[in-house]
Chains A and B, each alone.
Chain A
Amino acid sequence: MNFKYIGKNVDRPDAIKKAIGKAVFIDDIKLPGMLYAAILYPEYAHAKIISIDISEAKKSEGVVKIVTGKGCDFRFGDNVQDRLPMAVDRVLYIGEPVAAVLAENPNQAKTALKKIKVKYEPLPVIVDAMDALKKDAVLLHPDSGNYWHLPGIGPEAGTNIGDHYCCKKGDIEKGFQESDHTFEGEFVYPWGSSAALEPHGAIAQFHEDNTIEIWSSTICPFVVREDIARKYKVPIGDVRVHVPEVGGCFGYKSDVTIEQTVAWIAHFVPGRPVKWMCSRKEDFLSSLLGHGIRTKFKVGVKKDGKFVALQAAIYHSTGAYVDTGLHIMRGATHNCTGAYEFPYCYLDGYSIYTNTTPVGAYRGYGHQESQFGIERMIDIIARKLNIDSFKLREMNYLGPGKYTALGELLWESNGSVKQCSDIIKKKLFSGSKPKEDDKYYYGRGFSALMKSPKGAPFSSKSCFLKFNVDGSVCINMAGAEVGQGLRTVVRQIAAETLKISPERIRVYTEIDTQFSPWEWQTIGSMFTIQGGRAVIRACEKAIQKLKETASQALRVDTDMLEYAGDEIFLKHDPSIKIEIGRLVHGYMYPDGITVGEVIQSTSDARLPRYCNPDKNGQGSMGVTYTFGAQACEIRIEKATGRTIVDHFASCFDIGRVINPKQIRGQVNGGVMMAIGATLCEEIKFDKNGKCLNPFFSKYRFPNIKDAPKKYTVEFIETPEHIGPFGARGIGEHPVIGVAPSILNAIYDAIGVDFFEIPVTPEKIKKTLEGK
């Protein structure tokens, strides 16, 4: 197919404003009369609040109000309403808001905060899911059975289980009977932070006329709007949510994060806007963390290496509240097969309450956590069966005619993991690796991967489009631009469909629920697929309307007309034509009488037939899969144990490349982020639930010196029926195969299997010394 704008490096419409410092982020917004909040956190990760004394704090300079959770009679949440805007009588984790000071400036608020005195009665603390499952474990949510939840999900009353999901494909016992060998393994993907460079922040204002206005660094303004409206009992339309530029997301600005807390504080001072910007420490501990997943596998295999059965148990230390974490566990559970077919599956996942910061979305959403395990298992199985690891993978890859764990039949159009794998194999494994020398061990490692979107059946995205009389077009959507470049994608897709240049398409820059079309949330790498499809639909509707007016102007049936971007002409006689501008606000006859609709359109698009799980945990929850392969060449420095990633290669069956430069940036950024998770990043809590490293100086976040010297990024383009021009998503995919490929490479280099990340230099050094 020949495209004019798809597949081209069209410029990012927001780049200049960002580069000159004029892009407006949440912390750049200052409203008249704005108050600043400072929040008090508990000394214990689990405790009863006995008393809060605010008498001294109240007298502090500039203090307008001191707020606690006393009197809060609601819990909120999108999936399970187990969350509180502020602790009422108990604290469940170290980042839980206990009280807040509102003052005229941030420093006055912080000064007064130190004068609040809280008495606690400490309770036993649970940090790890496995301890929360013990019989004598303290119950973190004694009333969990009463919490509102969506049908089919939610807590098991009387336990610390916040959600349980089981996906069954065939009879697992039979599967193991048919197997010649079984292999077991246990893997840990610990807590990390999405750690966008811009911390969370929000402003809330309860207006005197009962309307509520929120500004937030969020990617789901419509979810926030509905949640706030529900809790403060106002019509949804009376809550207005603004999203300024978002300085990176990577997952943890989805769902409701800090907005309910800021709203709670602000509702005590109607008329005054209240701002709360997280410090980095607060961003780590009081927003959402990622991962915290332990995976246990039992794999049944035939003598020749054919996979038969997969039994998995996923234990998710989901933190103090399960609302934002449970779907990550579910994603980790049904995607744990990776890119392989297992005729028999029994995949069991648990999200378990712990006295730690709640886990929420993190780029990859469960995929990397469990596929890390399966990809490591495959290398180990290949070794034990003495089969080439590529051969073992190739005989088990999913592909046309195969069924996923969810029971979804795959087609050609779902793409080819084999082709991705072949490209990566050829690039990195054709020759031999460098030989060990005085300073380094060398290794190479591989991983295939599968990504399904994680959505909801109703997760639509919409588009408002209007033509201008000069033939230019304005497009308004509600996809949150977090750096992934969706504004460029909208421009390119619209340009291609409307046959006009991208510069003539003005793409919305900010989201405001009062004006933006409805969108569920910008999550799951689905904007290009769904949003792009919505753009095409809106363009096609507009073209149809243009033709209808043109048919009156040119006095001919609409099916005789051809749309060409700047004009509409008669198919059999192109000399009979009319320019678009003359149709946009209706066509005016010489006598002034005007006919035809104003050319504007609305549309939406969802994942077709996406459904809830059935009694076996199966159903159409993947819909549009993406397959890929990743591999690396590493060096391990003998003196320090440091792992250096020299070359990282990725190949995805992306369906259609919309913007090569942007897509390369997405892949490299994702790979780098996951290298961080694999080699250095971890949020650590001690046994008392206190965080040991909530600062960038102690949470090792990779800098340019940690980046691979070389990135290889390749794409296969097997068009997909659902996405625009065949495109699939890419945002999250690059993180999935990184940890297993690096750990497989570490084994290749030093002959040691690691089952847990991060594999720090200290860990390797210790292992080398013990050898």
Chain B
Amino acid sequence: MAQKISITVNGIKRTVEIDGWEKLVDVLRDKLGLTGTKKGCDDLSCGACTVIVDGEAKKSCSMPAIKADGTTILTIEGLSKGKTIHPIQKALIEAGAVQCGYCTPGIVLELYALFTKNIDATQEEITNALAKHLCRCTGYEAIFEGAILAQRYMKGNK
């Protein structure tokens, strides 16, 4: 049955008609055209669909859209500003952490949520955050190095 939800996505207030069963990922991708959020599995395993809901990194493939009503959401499209990319994106690119790129938006947002809350996150905390994501390309070394570099960049930007 159709219902309406109001969400603030990337700073813009949106009202969307949804079906009760719909997941947040499908609303973002299909109804709002925000296809930077990716789908890799359906069981909370891969993290490609991660977005930031009220400051927390959430796997949008498992979040009922109805539960997002009234929230503030940041997707990958909201992070870079025109030609200015976010330091996390810059760091991951420089570290060679972007190969096929399918896991990248989710990882960028995971790190954004982590460093926004705690810019001094320890290496263990960074690893724990990254462990919510799967990447088949890199063997994770470059992703970890990119995360450390991102932390450095963000500290410098403060």
Q: Which residues of A contact B (CB under 8 A)?
A: 9, 11-12, 14-25, 27-28, 30, 107, 194-199, 245-250, 277, 279-281, 482-485, 661-662, 664-665, 667-673, 695-697, 701, 703-705, 707, 711
Contact = CB atoms under 8 A, between A and B. Distances in A.
A27 B36 CA distance: 10
B21 A668 contact: no
A20 B36 contact: yes
B121 to A, nearest CB: 14
Interface string B19-38: 10100000001100011111
Given A665-B142, A704-B130, A198 B43 contact: no
Interface stretch (B1-9, B63-71, B75-83): B75-83
8 nearest A-B residue pairs (beta carbon): A21-B36, A18-B101, A483-B100, A668-B139, A247-B102, A696-B45, A21-B76, A483-B99
B76 A672 contact: no
Contacts of B42: 279-281, 695
Contacts of B108: 19
B150 to A, nearest CB: 11
B96 A664 contact: yes
Nearest to B19: A107
A479 to B, nearest CB: 14
Contact of A248 (B45, B80, B93, B100): B100
A375 to B, nearest CB: 21
A704 B101 contact: no
Contacts of A9: 96
A195 B104 CA distance: 16
Interface string B47-89: 0100000000000000000000000000111011000010001
B101 A483 contact: yes
A455 to B, nearest CB: 23
B15 interface: no
Interface-centre pick from B21, B36, B80, B92 (highest chain A CB count, 10 A): B36
A9 B94 CA distance: 10
A707 B139 contact: yes
Majority secondary structure of chain A interface residues (helix, strand, loop or mixed): loop
A23 B96 contact: no
Contacts of B101: 14-15, 17-19, 23, 245, 247, 483
A696 B38 CA distance: 15
Contacts of A24: 35
Contacts of A17: 101
26 contacts: A18-B98, A18-B101, A19-B98, A19-B101, A19-B105, A20-B105, A21-B34, A21-B104, A21-B105, A27-B35, A107-B19, A196-B100, A198-B38, A198-B100, A245-B100, A280-B42, A483-B100, A483-B101, A669-B136, A669-B139, A695-B41, A695-B45, A696-B41, A701-B134, A703-B133, A707-B144
Interface-centre pick from A14, A28, A483 (highest chain B CB count, 10 A): A483
Interface of B: 19, 21, 29-30, 34-46, 48, 75-77, 79-80, 85, 89, 92-93, 96, 98-105, 108, 127, 130-131, 133-144
Contact of B131 (A19, A482, A704): A704
B41 to A, nearest CB: 4
Nearest to A111: B21
Nearest to A27: B39
A280 B141 contact: no
Contacts of A484: 99
A703 B134 contact: yes
Nearest to A247: B102
Contacts of B131: 703-705
B76 to A, nearest CB: 3
A112 B153 CA distance: 51
Contacts of A697: 41, 43-45
Interface-centre pick from A21, A23, A248, A697 (highest chain B CB count, 10 A): A21
A87 to B, nearest CB: 25
Contacts of A22: 36, 77
B138 A669 contact: yes
A56 to B, nearest CB: 21
A256 to B, nearest CB: 21
Nearest to B97: A665
Interface-centre pick from B38, B104, B130, B136 (highest chain A CB count, 10 A): B136
Given A20-B36, A21-B36, A696-B134, A704 B140 contact: yes
Contacts of B89: 16, 19-20
Nearest to A14: B101
